[in-house]
Amino acid sequence: MLTKMRHFVLQNNVVFLLLLLILCFGSTTGPLFLNEQNLHNIARQISFDIPLALALTIVLVAGGIDLSVGSVLSMAAALTMGLQPLGTWLAVGVALLFGAAVGLINGLLVTKGRIVPFIATLGTMTVVRGAMLTYTRQQPIPGSDPAFTFWGAGSLGPVPVPILVVALLCVGVHLLLTYTQFGRNLYAIGGNADAAFLAGIQIERNKVMAFVLSGLLAAVSGVLIASRLNASTVHIGLDSGLWAIAAAIIGGASLTGGKGSTLGAVLGVVTLGVLVNGMNLLGVHTYYQIGVRAVILIAVVAVDALSAANLRKKLVMQSYGNRE
């Protein structure tokens, strides 16, 4: 395990980027950034983003992409608050079931419908967003069960509850991707779908399950955010999908598939969380922060594309050398 972590650190620039940001903000904001309260705030804030990064990592590993996670998050939060008078845990169950159902639809559109994942999930993103606006009538939905806020805003001793919940999710996803046949199948499919098919892997079923897990994790994030706010608003999840994609790719996942890890996803979210927190402490205007986010997204996608192109070139050269 330690060897794998050491290899990850050496092979991924996210660790060095994170350390650079910490040094930068630690030296420019004085004690504001590195004090215990601020670090506690960062940890609590990123705990709501990590499930989305895990969702995108799973789908990216399988060679897909899921743009609908932000809309699923928003609708899950709305269902959690809107159905709460019928029973809190019933509302949570419906929200999670909704996320899994959207994931199932995405998976079927991609596998049975033969629709490119980008287009399929873009479509479901729009449909779910419209359904959320219709359901909420574009109005906030307050919570009716104060005890439910424990899961999003409570603490067990010094540790925020959402961090504990997300830690369990991370362990579960790590075990799933690393030690199960399903996880190995996803890496094989994302790495080379034709070779995976020839090896007897059921590509369609595994891809559908990847999208189902993505929708389910997005719904978990929505439930946690609704618990923290004790309300749902139409602004939740507006840019969460693109932010999660950026975090997953910064953490080592690739748009070409076959790459990604739980640790990388978490470090990607931490890196972006530190960046946003540092900009807030420096008084950077929200409009400029949006621009910085856009630049980061373009940069990480460009780096990913360049890395994929270099890898293809290397493989071609190796193949040509073998023929010689």
- Residue 82's nearest CA partner among 71, 73, 91 is 91
Strands (E), the chain: 141-142, 155-156, 159-160, 231-232
Please give the residue range of the domain that contains residue 146. 2-323
The answer, yes or no, to whether residue 151 has pLDDT greater than 60, is: yes
pLDDT (tens digit per residue) in 91-150: 999 999 999 999 999 999 999 999 999 999 999 999 999 999 999 999 999 988 889 999
What's the CATH number where 72 sits? 1.10.3470
Extract the tokens encoding 309: 């192109």
* DSSP code for 159: E
Cβ–Cβ under 8 Å, residues 49 and 267: no
Per-residue pLDDT, averaged over 303-312, amounts to: 69
pLDDT in tens, 158-206: 888 999 999 999 999 999 999 999 999 999 999 899 999 999 999 999 9
Cα separation, 138 vs 131, in Å, equals 10
pLDDT over 90 percentage in the chain: 56
Domains in the chain, number? 1
Q: Alpha carbon 152 to chain centroid distance? A: 18
Mean pLDDT, to the nearest integer, of 26-32?
84
